[in-house]
Amino acid sequence: METRTFRKILIANRGEIALRVMRSCRAMGIETVAVYSEADAHAPHVRFAGEAVHLGAAPAKESYLRIEKIIDAAERTGADAIHPGYGFLSENAEFAESCAAAGVVFIGPPPTAIQAMGLKSSARRLAAEAGAPVVPGYDGEDQSVETLRAQMIEIGFPVLIKASAGGGGKGMRVVRTKNAVDEAVGSARREAEKAFGDGSLLLEKYVEGARHVEVQILGDAHGNLVHLFERDCSLQRRHQKIVEESPSPAVNGELRRKMGDAAVNIGRAIGYTNAGTVEFILAPSGEFYFIEVNTRLQVEHPVTEMITGLDLVRLQIEIAEGRPLTCAQADLKTEGHAIEARLYAEDPANDFLPSTGKILDLQLPMTEGVRIDAGVECGMEVGIHYDPMLAKLIAHGENRDAAIRKLVYALRQSSIQGLRTNREFLIRLVDHQGFRQGRAHTGFIAERLDELIADDDPRLDRDSLIAVALYLQNQWQTSDGLLSELPPSYRNNPYRDPSIRFQIGSDEVEVSWRQTGSSGYEARVFDSTVTAQVLSCGPDRVRIEIDGVQRSFKVTEVGDELYVHSSLGARVIKRPPRHPVSQASSEQGSANSPMPGKVLKILVEVGQKVTAGDPLIILEAMKMEHTMRAALDGIVEEVLVSDGEVVGPGQLLVKITDTL
């Protein structure tokens, strides 16, 4: 194998991973080429690269998934190699082949390895042949519902349906009873067909209470293959990883050796080169089973980098250049503990629906031992076209407790205003006693969802409301009493204290106050009276002393929403709507679209009786299926949309009249 020295690499991706790859390129003295879609014309990855080539319209199918346009961009810029990042074309064997055909090096494994691992059925067989344990299951050709049902009974419930062609949880469904088979098979198949163009399904015994533990492998073109230990990714929600760490608190030295050996044996059996990940599930009994191989650099790779001190992208590039690995397994050591949390643009209080909007303020802390891989910047519009991950925060500490404490601190210091994020949810999750004790498993979040979404510090709501009220009052005072600036809810007459109504979470609250001095106030909220002192008030910040403690509250207004961030936490407070909500969209029990999306399937007809929780409509948004369900028992009075229709946020989809 001849060795080459790349001068220029095209990064066929966007967001944080494009920036991440470019950082290693820069450090190695390699020129970079970005590609971008219409929506990303001003994205940071475009500006960070030496050159940039426009691909097409915003939808990935018309831009980041266009093989011929990307190859053409590489040829036009004279790139020696293409790094695919993760997602998009990273696990597309045809893309890897097209690169080779065009004389551009694909930075990743050989197309044959991608192909072999791309189908879960063949991956399972190869892993078993390589001596790795696999879960009892069915991966046959016959895909009829009858056969699948019979196989499930044979395997024994609970069974996990997986899309043969897929990964990352798309098309995955847990089936617990015979009655649930039809709906699960139907929706899994639709999702798989939609996402992969292949609806074939695989069945596996569902291992409950398991942990998701994966092993990072690295192979060169000279037959050297090592593993870089494990990552524990047990904290997931709807198959979306949220928190990852290494070492796994559930893996001891002996198990680490066994899993590492199994991963390396699988890698050898398929002639694996470059970076890859072998996923296992670790049962509560301590048994582990192979589930799949990811033939790409993973989102959570920084966790491995922080404990090994290695630069995985640099190693990927060197391997693609044909250089041999310089580290043998015995040389590889880890130091301390690393944990990553993924910050998403989503609203945990609203079923984690993706949130869109403009980032009006972004503060991510610079703390020793904390790495931040972000793909967004202040002023950027976060839309519906791509993954809603905003940034990864990765903390490294001398042990697990130290890493957790640092991560919580970094999260608390982070502030994102202009759209909803899962920041508070992440703080509660990482700070949760069960997680701290290392007891996380794949069902952990679902089991504790209420605790993780609830607000625990009553001062957060109370003080945020007071801060916002006094902030607004100061804004109005300094805006020269322009009456048009006042919201309809604001009252100021001689017989009453000024007050404003707000919505916080699902509650409506009134805050009223009385000025007691030049900067002193007595504020009333939640039936309690609080003495507050406004120390300073700027255009986006108010500093207030309440109960003898001074705090700054950062306030950002977005329409009727106010984003408030302080050391107590972050809250979104709404001013009451200026226009009354239309009758139709506020009807009890009727289903409204929570976000922009597309109607995939209508499951009910006019006149049909429904029970609370029944599925009404399947919506596709952010590339995922979302099932809209009936909020109460009733009768479908009207279906206001049709198959394939594009719907806006708040749009009424199905009207239900209750049958009381």
Site string for ligand MV4, 393-412 (x = CB under 6 A): --------------------
Among 124, 296, 428, 571, the one annotated catalytic:
296
**Residue-wise DSSP of 339-379:** EEEEEESEEGGGTTEE--EE--EEE----TTEEEEE---TT
424 lies in the site for ligand MV4, by CB under 6 A: no
User: At residue 373, what are phi and psi to the nearest 5 degrees?
Assistant: -110, 100
Cα–Cα distances (Å) from 225 to 229, 264, 272, 470, in that order, read 13, 7, 8, 62
Min dist. Cβ of residue 240 to ligand MV4 (A): 9
| 281 lies in the binding site for ligand MV4 (CB under 6 A) | yes
Q: Which stretch binds ligand MV4 (CB under 6 A): 67-75, 180-188, 202-210, 533-541?
A: 202-210
- Interface residue with ligand MV4 among 169, 249, 322, 434 (CB under 6 A) is 169
We find the least distance from the C-beta atom of residue 166 to ligand MV4, in angstroms, to be 9
Distance CA 430, CA 436 (A): 7
- CA-angle at 592, arms to 589 and 598, nearest 5°: 140
CA separation, residue 573 to residues 19, 466, 475, 524 (Å): 34, 11, 17, 17
How far apart, in whole angstroms, are the C-alpha atoms of residue 10 and residue 395? 29
Q: Give just the sign of the alpha carbon dihedral 417, 420, 422, 424.
A: positive
The answer to whether residue 292 forms part of the interface with ligand MV4 (CB under 6 A) is yes
Q: Beta strands 8-11 and 31-37: pairing type?
A: parallel
What would you report as the CA-atom Rg of the chain, rounded to the nearest whole angstrom?
27
Q: Is there binding between residue 86 and ligand MV4 (CB under 6 A)? A: no
Q: How far is the CB of 173 from ligand MV4 (least distance, A)?
A: 9
135 binds ligand MV4 (CB under 6 A): yes
| Catalytic residue flag (residue 296) | yes
Residues 6+ apart with CB under 8 A from 281: 135, 207, 210, 211, 212, 213, 288, 289, 291, 442
Counting contacts by CB under 6 A, is residue 139 touching ligand MV4?
no
Both structure tokens of 191: 């999702």
**Contacts with ligand MV4 in 575-614 (CB under 6 A)?**
none
Q: Which residue in the set 10, 114, 160, 161 belongs to the binding site for ligand MV4 (CB under 6 A)? A: 160
Contact between 220 and 319 under an 8 Å Cβ cutoff? The reply is: yes
Q: What six digits make up the tokens of 419?
A: 């759209």
Give whichever of 18 and 430 is closer to ligand MV4, judged by the CB atom.
430
Minimal distance, residue 170 CB to ligand MV4, in Å: 10
Q: In what order do the strands lie in the sheet with 173-175?
A: 137-138, 201-205, 159-163, 173-175
284, 210 contact by CB (below 8 A)? yes
Residue window 210-239: x/- pattern of binding to ligand MV4, with contact defined by CB under 6 A = x-x-----------------------x--x
When CB distances to ligand MV4 are compared, the closest residue is 442
Q: What burial class does residue 474 get, using C-beta atoms within 10 Å of its C-beta: 0-12 exposed, 13-18 middle, 19+ buried?
A: middle
Backbone φ and ψ of 419, nearest 5°: -150, 160
Question: What is the smallest separation between the CB atom of 285 and ligand MV4, expressed in angstroms?
Answer: 13
The residues near 182 (Cβ < 8 Å, ≥ 6 apart) are 145
- Residue 207 binding ligand MV4, by CB under 6 A: yes
Binding-site member from 16, 80, 191, 204 for ligand MV4 (CB under 6 A):
204
Closest separation between CB of residue 236 and ligand MV4, Å? 4
Under the binding rule (CB under 6 A), the answer on residue 279 touching ligand MV4 is: yes
Nearer to ligand MV4, 127 or 160 (CB): 160
Asked if residue 50 binds ligand MV4 (CB under 6 A), the reply is: no
Is 288 one of the binding residues for ligand MV4 (CB under 6 A)? no
To the nearest whole angstrom, how small is the minimum distance from the Cβ of residue 136 to ligand MV4?
Answer: 9
Instruction: Considering only the stretches 204-212, 338-346, 602-610, 637-645, report the one whose residues sit in contact with ligand MV4 under the rule CB under 6 A.
Output: 204-212
Neighbours of 117 (CB within 10 A): 25
Task: Determine the interface stretch with ligand MV4 among 71-79, 206-214, 514-522, 604-612 (rule: CB under 6 A).
Answer: 206-214
142 class by beta-carbon count within 10 Å (0-12 exposed, 13-18 middle, 19+ buried): exposed
Residue 442 sits in the site that holds ligand MV4 (CB under 6 A): yes
Q: Nearest approach, Cβ of 299 to ligand MV4 (angstroms)?
A: 13
Local structure of residue 178 (DSSP, 8 states): G
**In this structure, what token pair is assigned to residue 360?**
């009006």
Candidates 60, 163, 291, 319; binder of ligand MV4 (CB under 6 A) is: 291
Q: Which residue's CB is nearer to ligand MV4, number 209 or number 223?
A: 209
CB of 204 to ligand MV4, least distance (A): 4
β-bridge partners, 32:
9
Query: Catalytic residue numbers?
Result: 296
- Contacts with ligand MV4 by CB under 6 A lie at 135, 160, 169, 174, 204-207, 210, 212, 236, 239, 279, 281, 291-292, 442
